[in-house]
Amino acid sequence: MNFIEGEILCVDKPLGWTSFDAVKRLRGALTRRLGVKKIKVGHAGTLDPLATGVMIVCTGRATKRIDELQAGIKEYVATIALGATTPSFDLETEIDATYPTEHITRELVEETLTKFTGRIEQVPPAFSACKVDGKRAYDLARKGREVELKPKILVIDCIELLEFAPDSITVRVVCSKGTYIRALARDIGAALGSGGHLTALRRTRVGDIHIDKCLDMQQADELIRTVEIEMPEK
């Protein structure tokens, strides 16, 4: 493999790691193996620390393909707690309000999910990397500042109900770039006449890359340590 000319590594990002943590780990392994001080490494599509799954990491000149790769269709499996909301729409922040769930049935959930397929408008979470007046929204939100974000048009190809309980659902979502599954959890909870927040998220596909083709971080480290290396001609 020629990491300087450019390679694409597909890894399964662990729970609790930022996308930057994963890139930093692989960059460190590459610089040690190649005996260089620095190498260009980037990722296509950020995953929150509380999410796991497919993350595409590009090295060297392959970083020029990042925009192309992150534009691919995404697939997620998401667990949404019903009956409560949080400011971040996930477990990063504490519950700020509770709502009834007794009226929620499987039939109501399945009917409600159909309203979220096709082209929809979605307001991104305040706890997101969107920029407001040149600053990241999450930096402002974490300081307690009021954040107003404009709705974005996106496409959801499919939402399938995988598991149902009155206070929790698990769904499979196939969607376009730019979809915030946390915001989808918020909106589904509201549409059910209750509240909702994300409790687990796994990205299972980006474009043609499926989770079963991804390396865990230990396997990625091992690959970098042991694979036959090509160095570019000087």
Which residues are catalytically annotated?
48
Give the whole-angstrom CA distance, residue 220 versus residue 17.
15
Give the whole-angstrom CA distance, residue 64 versus residue 190.
40
In DSSP terms, which residues pair with 82 in a beta bridge? 196
Give the whole-angstrom CA distance, residue 170 versus residue 34.
43
Give the whole-angstrom CA distance, residue 72 versus residue 20.
20
Helix (H, G, I), strand (E, B) or coil at 106: helix
Longest dimension (CA), the chain: 69
Give the whole-angstrom CA distance, residue 84 versus residue 186.
9
Residue 68 in contact with residue 177, Cβ under 8 Å? no
